[in-house]
Chain A
Amino acid sequence: MSLLNVENLRAYFSILRGYVKAVDDVSFEIKKGQAFGLAGESGCGKTTTALTILRLLPTNGRIVSGKIFFEGKDITRISDEEFRKTYRWKKISVIFQGAMNALNPIMTVGNQIVEAITLHEDITKKAALDRAKKLLELVGVGAERVDRYPHELSGGMKQRSIIAMALACNPDLIIADEPTTALDVITEAQVLRVMKELQKKLQISMIVISHDLSMIAETCDEIAIMYAGKIVEQGDIVAIYKESLHPYTQRLIGAFPSIVGEKTELSTIQGFPPDLLNPPSGCRFHPRCPFGMEICKKKEPAMIKIKDKEHYVSCHLVGLK
């Protein structure tokens, strides 16, 4: 069953020189209990996609067109007030990037979780504090740390507290934006393990946003690869990593070194990511693509479904075969 359905979403930022087309015709679906990875390089629009779903776009950004269905209801059509009261944090919560800065330094961790709960639910402070303790226990920080200030906790502990906070109102969907980028590898492994266990145990759907394809490979069931505001390839995680068809996906995956197995040549991508004020015509990857053809410059490739597989790709090369 689908929980979140994003259809033809376009979100632009207006700046003096024009519109930055940060998210341009993006569609995807998230099923209940699924971990969905949204991957791409900096500036490809993955964080903007998340902010759009959460209605947290900065003032110069807006949804130009498209629909976002949450449990069948179009949440782009409801008022900000209704969204804040019934959706944000209660149904959709978020784990922000950078554990070091997401917590309020002058409030104890417990009080910050209590604040999140009491704002959205009609319960006493004491009951909320009890729940905060349970949550901290659940993520492995320990109930005894409920009165600690953020500076008394290590990076990993802070990030776990943020996970506890995201879980505070039993959401159906958690959006994790680069949840482990600021952490060391061993701490990252510890935090990812907690996230995965809780996701399975509580049957929460998750969108994991990251530039790190290795991390997504280890956590998600499905993945969408974004390039310059568009999804270029999407599908089952194994299909994408093992049989990727888009030249960008292939090279991006090939650019990540592996610590196990034979040492293979790392792939490179020529050139630099495009300017989203004036994205290239046709396929946006064509100026950097080694297989660029005439048609790629003129016509934008459509999303094609690969036969008998959960695998979608938008590339003219695939259409030819």
Chain B
Amino acid sequence: MSKQPRIVVNNLRKYFPIKLGFFKSLLTSQVPRVRAVDGISFMVGEREVFGLVGESGCGKTTTGRCVLRLIEPTAGKITFKEADMMKLTEHQLRSMRRRMQIIFQDPYESLNPRMSIYDILAEPLNLQNVAKSPEKTREIISSALEEMDLVPPEEFLYRFPHELSGGQRQRVAIARAFVLRPEFIVADEPVSMLDASIRTEVMKLMLHMVEKTNCSFLYITHDIALTRYMCDRIAVMYLGKIVETGPTELVIGRRFHPYTEALISAVPVPDPTSRRTKVVIKGEVASAVNPPEGCRFNPRCVYAQDKCRKEEPQLVEVEKDHYVACFFPLAQ
């Protein structure tokens, strides 16, 4: 990668303890833990869109929140440019927030219904003491709305979220994330609640803003087909681990890991003439409390062998920039 790394995540882990009842806790010596994220490493470069793809429960959202320290990671190292995120005090973290933002999935819940669009966008500016005067605040907010194609901005400034459609709300949420001109944004399924006809528009706006503000983007999604349009590189997650990572077209086009293969084959294609024969894998995702020994995908993998049940595969470079964690990667 020629790009300068902006955020580097190293061996990140997040375990959630399970609360037990009083009697059960007397009987068990060790508290069971859900291993939501179990040792993952990646980096996002300057002006790069990096996608985290996986099914629900694979730990992609937890990863996104840990990276911003919205929840405390159990272990691991996160470096944001020069700063070690794990060592920051709460006070230092607060000023750091100016440089990193998040876009949530549901614009119906992420915008306060009792605040006008103006107040929603002014809040980050006031918290970080960016705008020195009310005129300046208004100017910044107007241009932020214009960037999101919410024109004319005066028409939106004093409206409330319930007066906007889903697409317009998500644009406000994106405007809020970009208003401080952050260097890094985590976008957690930002378009999954939107209808197809407005989804493309919102994706284009986000990509345009990434270009314009030179921002780095961690794009979390379950929709691997969309990553072709959004992401430069992606990582496929399964049960808290990255199983395959590399440039988007390489991962989708060549897919070496059996899970990636199954995931891609399950995605419906908008073309009735190409009804493919599908490799539909059986069973369900194993529990993250007691993940399977060896490779975590082995109970569902059609190619699994003895080695897969005993040893855990590490990410290995199979071609330039393309890494796969599998003992028997599919040769295509």
User: Which residues of A approach B to under 8 Å, CB–CB?
Assistant: 41-42, 154, 156, 184-190, 192-193, 211-215, 217-218, 220, 237-238, 241-242, 251-253, 255-261, 263, 266-269, 272-273
B217 CB, nearest partner CB in chain A, Å: 18
A-B contact pairs, 20 of them (CB 8 A): A156-B284, A185-B266, A186-B262, A186-B263, A187-B284, A193-B278, A213-B270, A214-B225, A241-B270, A241-B271, A252-B197, A253-B270, A257-B225, A257-B226, A259-B228, A259-B267, A263-B249, A267-B200, A268-B201, A272-B168
Mark B200-243 against chain A: 1 for CB-CB distance below 8 A, else 0: 11011000000000000000001111101100000000000000
A230 CB, nearest partner CB in chain B, Å: 16
Cβ contact within 8 Å between A256 and B280? no
B305 contacts the other chain (CB 8 A)? no
**How far is it, in angstroms, between the C-alpha of A6 and the C-alpha of B240 when the chains are bound?**
49
Cβ contact within 8 Å between B269 and A214? yes
What A residues does B229 contact at CB under 8 A? 257, 263, 266
Candidate in A42, A189, A214 with the most chain B CB atoms within 10 angstroms? A189
Chain B contact-residue range equals: 35 or more
B273 contacts the other chain (CB 8 A)? yes
**How far is it, in angstroms, between the C-alpha of A35 and the C-alpha of B319 when the chains are bound?**
44
Which 5 pairs show the lowest CB-CB distances between chains A and B? A214-B268, A189-B266, A269-B197, A256-B270, A184-B55
Q: A186-B55, A193-B278, A213-B196 are in contact. Are A272 and B167 (CB under 8 A)?
A: yes
What B residues does A238 contact at CB under 8 A? 272-273
| Chain A: CB-nearest residue to B165 | A272
**How far is it, in angstroms, between the C-alpha of A247 and the C-alpha of B136 when the chains are bound?**
43
Cβ contact within 8 Å between A256 and B196? yes
What A residues does B262 contact at CB under 8 A? 186
Cβ contact within 8 Å between A218 and B272? yes
Cβ contact within 8 Å between B204 and A268? yes
B264 contacts the other chain (CB 8 A)? yes
Cβ contact within 8 Å between B228 and A252? no
Question: DSSP class of B's interface residues: helix, strand, loop or mixed?
Answer: helix
B276 contacts the other chain (CB 8 A)? yes
B2 CB, nearest partner CB in chain A, Å: 22
| Chain A: CB-nearest residue to B267 | A259
- Which of B195, B264, B270, B282 is in CB contact (< 8 Å) with A214? B270
- Which of B228, B270, B271, B276 is in CB contact (< 8 Å) with A263? B228
Cβ contact within 8 Å between A255 and B266? no
| Chain B: CB-nearest residue to A266 | B200
Cβ contact within 8 Å between A211 and B196? yes
**How far is it, in angstroms, between the C-alpha of A257 and the C-alpha of B270 when the chains are bound?**
8
| Chain A: CB-nearest residue to B166 | A42
- Which of B198, B265, B272 is in CB contact (< 8 Å) with A217? B272
